[in-house]
Chains A and B, each alone.
Chain A
Amino acid sequence: MNDFLANIRWQDVIDIALNSYVLFRFYILFRGTNVLRVLFGLAVIWFAQRLATSMGLIVSSWISQGITAAAALIVVVVFRNEIRAVLQTKNIRGILWELPKKQTTTPIEKIAESAFDMARRHIGALLIIPGKDDLGDIVQHGMQWQGVVSKEMLVSIFWPDNPVHDGAAIVRGSRIEEVGCILPLSTRDDLPSNYGTRHRAALGLAEISDALIILVSEEQGTVAITQNGRLKNIQNPATLEKRLRDHTSLRLGSRSNLLDERIEIVLASVLSIAFTLGIWFSITRGLDTLATYDVPVEYRNRDSAQEIVETSDNTVKLQLSGSRSLLRSISPDQLRVRLNLNKAAVGPNSFSITRDDITLPPGVILKDVQPPFIEVTLDITTERVLPVQVDWVGKLSDRLILTQARPDPATVKVIGASQYLDSLTTIYTEKVSVEGIKRSGSVEVGLAINPAKLRLASGEKRSVTVLYTAKERTPPE
């Protein structure tokens, strides 16, 4: 533990805290939906895959690997509606830090009063008060409404001339979230014959979820509720209010439930931290592995008048230590060795490679650098005029002699490192074949210049014209 505290960096603390919070928010946003359940399932598959791999089960490992590889796609495609709902219904504050507010203000009295009012007027209605179950996959979504519950609004939604009056309305908290929703019908065959489609729909949803459905019969002018697969007629608003209060307190309101929710949130946050810590430990504090990487040396702050003409090494070997997974995840651009040439002088310079010259990804420890020194020879750039020589190749006809070859221009001005230029005496042309030569003539030919070391001065052409003279060989006497 002391070792852990001594080695942990401030970046690690931020890293763990940030990812724990992301995980926690993810839980808060998607709790109660199937997304979390499927993610848990995928985690189990991933664990199974690791197990299968370690046990050498080829097919199991292969299949589970395929599933986990496609997991991100599966989650996005299958749960696009849930993801969209979360993103659409919540603002940035809701997504980033707000805890879902307790919806204790469900206007039970208004709902009960409205239900009996509609019953009196023989207006059929279906009102869904969701429980803890996610209705996303059960209810066929209708139209977003997001209106504050009021008696007038409920009556107007189910008014016979309203296009959405046939569907069900979902009431969550103080708002009517959706209207015109289609519910699954009950498949029971023991229902009384006077039960219409609305009754079957109310029972259908009650059979497969913990939602409470208020059913107002248009024909009979009665109010009933369905819950846990049972239908119960309600005689007066007070009874309905009591049932609603029981249902909503079950979901939100009671003191014990509030306590449960707090415990759930605390547990989720603790688990998020524990999970992130677990991942962090597995990545950064796994079994130490040593690996060697060849990293190209980069040079910076070079005087623009100088050129690097020679280096003792172009790459250095970095021996790194860290967990296996961390080392395996290193990409070439994460490792850099950059030498500062701002104090370098013309001629040979020796640079020792220090830790400041090396960039490593977090969590990776540098063990060794080979070679520890780099010799860099710098030179100033200079201009020089050099003669051009034709580089003839091939086989000349036996009856001909090439007596003269004159490149035009005969010299070119080149720019390069003075040390390199000093050793250069001639600029050769590209190879010119003599095989086609039958008589004197001329040929346009490019200059063979090593672009890495030399360049032509401005105004110089990249090619020359070679004027050559060929004469017939005098036969031996």
Chain B
Amino acid sequence: MKIFRKLYVVILLITVLLPTIAVGQAAKEQPLALEPKKLALGATATCENVLSGIPENKAVAFSLALKRVYCYTNFTSVPEKTFTFHNWYFRDNLKASIKLVLRPSRWSTYSAMELRSSDKGPWRVEVTDEEGNILSTQRFSIID
């Protein structure tokens, strides 16, 4: 229970803090052209860290020593304020479903998972839209 509480705090912090970074970035990159009508996911990656909204060391195998693994998503088109879900699965069991806000017209966001020794094995993160449609699946392993 303690671990879940800790995890919840981490996720909460990320979801609160990230939009500020992302907003700045999005504001900087926002073109003046007509807004696209559909939500479009540009890039997704699992990585060792996200620094200034940029994923660092994208990989498919992460050492437990990193203590945390990140799933980064970059939406190239966000027509309106909406949400995305990062669903973290260990093997076929859902471990966490993280709701992240997306704001027009482009948005980058990420979620992270605290690692424990029992987390070694194959993982996947399903990135879905508000309705639960899978937009992308990232597969990776937690290793020694």
- Residues of A participating in the B interface, judged by any CB pair closer than 8 Å: 387, 389-396, 401-405, 423-426, 428, 434, 468, 473-474
B121, A395: Cβ atoms closer than 8 Å: no
A391, B124: Cβ atoms closer than 8 Å: no
- Give chain A residues whose Cβ lies under 8 Å from the Cβ of B103: none
- Give chain B residues whose Cβ lies under 8 Å from the Cβ of A425: 89, 92, 124
Which of B61, B63, B92 is most buried by chain A, counting CB atoms within 10 A of its CB? Answer: B61
Interface size class of B (residues with CB under 8 A): 10 to 19
Known: A389-B139, A392-B141. A423 touches B57 (CB 8 A): no
Asked whether any CB of chain A lies closer than 8 Å to the CB of B60, the reply is yes
A402, B61: Cβ atoms closer than 8 Å: yes
B144, A394: Cβ atoms closer than 8 Å: yes
A393, B92: Cβ atoms closer than 8 Å: no
- Give chain A residues whose Cβ lies under 8 Å from the Cβ of B137: 387
Nearest A residue to B45 via CB reads A403
Q: A316–B135 Cα gap in the complex (Å)? A: 49
B63, A396: Cβ atoms closer than 8 Å: yes
**B39 CB to nearest chain A CB (Å):** 23
Known: A428-B122, A434-B143. A392 touches B92 (CB 8 A): no
Nearest A residue to B141 via CB reads A392
Nearest B residue to A437 via CB reads B61
Nearest A residue to B123 via CB reads A389
- Residues of B participating in the A interface, judged by any CB pair closer than 8 Å: 57-61, 63, 89, 91-92, 120-122, 124, 137, 139, 141, 143-144
Sample of 19 more A-B contacts, CB < 8 Å, known A392-B122, A395-B63, A423-B92: A390-B122, A390-B139, A391-B121, A391-B141, A392-B143, A393-B143, A395-B143, A395-B144, A396-B61, A396-B63, A401-B59, A402-B59, A403-B59, A426-B92, A426-B122, A426-B124, A426-B139, A434-B61, A473-B57
- Give chain B residues whose Cβ lies under 8 Å from the Cβ of A402: 59-61
A403, B144: Cβ atoms closer than 8 Å: no
Q: A390–B140 Cα gap in the complex (Å)? A: 8
Q: A404–B45 Cα gap in the complex (Å)? A: 11
The 6 closest A-B pairs by CB, nearest first: A392-B141, A395-B144, A402-B61, A392-B61, A405-B60, A389-B139
Q: A96–B59 Cα gap in the complex (Å)? A: 87
B122, A389: Cβ atoms closer than 8 Å: yes
Q: A426–B63 Cα gap in the complex (Å)? A: 22
Interface SS, B side: strand
- Give chain A residues whose Cβ lies under 8 Å from the Cβ of B143: 392-396, 434
Q: A394–B141 Cα gap in the complex (Å)? A: 10
- Give chain B residues whose Cβ lies under 8 Å from the Cβ of A403: 58-60
**B116 CB to nearest chain A CB (Å):** 16
- Give chain B residues whose Cβ lies under 8 Å from the Cβ of A404: 60
- Give chain B residues whose Cβ lies under 8 Å from the Cβ of A401: 57, 59
Q: A402–B121 Cα gap in the complex (Å)? A: 15
- Give chain B residues whose Cβ lies under 8 Å from the Cβ of A387: 137, 139
Nearest B residue to A405 via CB reads B60
- Give chain A residues whose Cβ lies under 8 Å from the Cβ of B144: 393-395
24 contacts between A and B (CB under 8 A): A389-B122, A390-B60, A391-B122, A392-B61, A392-B122, A392-B143, A393-B143, A393-B144, A394-B143, A395-B144, A396-B61, A396-B63, A396-B143, A401-B57, A402-B59, A403-B58, A404-B60, A405-B60, A424-B92, A425-B92, A426-B139, A428-B122, A434-B61, A473-B57
Q: A402–B92 Cα gap in the complex (Å)? A: 23
Pick from A390, A393, A423, A473: contact of B120, CB below 8 A. A393
- Give chain A residues whose Cβ lies under 8 Å from the Cβ of B141: 390-393
Nearest A residue to B89 via CB reads A425
Q: A450–B61 Cα gap in the complex (Å)? A: 24
- Give chain A residues whose Cβ lies under 8 Å from the Cβ of B139: 387, 389-390, 426
- Give chain B residues whose Cβ lies under 8 Å from the Cβ of A394: 143-144
- Give chain B residues whose Cβ lies under 8 Å from the Cβ of A405: 60-61
Which of B60, B89, B91, B144 is most buried by chain A, counting CB atoms within 10 A of its CB? Answer: B60
Q: A425–B122 Cα gap in the complex (Å)? A: 12
Q: A468–B58 Cα gap in the complex (Å)? A: 14
Q: A83–B100 Cα gap in the complex (Å)? A: 94
Q: A474–B124 Cα gap in the complex (Å)? A: 25
**A229 CB to nearest chain B CB (Å):** 98
Nearest A residue to B48 via CB reads A401
**B26 CB to nearest chain A CB (Å):** 27
Nearest B residue to A404 via CB reads B60
Q: A473–B61 Cα gap in the complex (Å)? A: 13
- Give chain A residues whose Cβ lies under 8 Å from the Cβ of B63: 395-396
Q: A402–B58 Cα gap in the complex (Å)? A: 8
Q: A334–B122 Cα gap in the complex (Å)? A: 47
Q: A372–B58 Cα gap in the complex (Å)? A: 58
- Give chain B residues whose Cβ lies under 8 Å from the Cβ of A395: 63, 143-144
**A412 CB to nearest chain B CB (Å):** 15
**A474 CB to nearest chain B CB (Å):** 8
**B117 CB to nearest chain A CB (Å):** 13
**B28 CB to nearest chain A CB (Å):** 23
Q: A405–B89 Cα gap in the complex (Å)? A: 18
**B54 CB to nearest chain A CB (Å):** 13
Q: A423–B89 Cα gap in the complex (Å)? A: 13
- Give chain A residues whose Cβ lies under 8 Å from the Cβ of B60: 390, 392, 402-405, 468
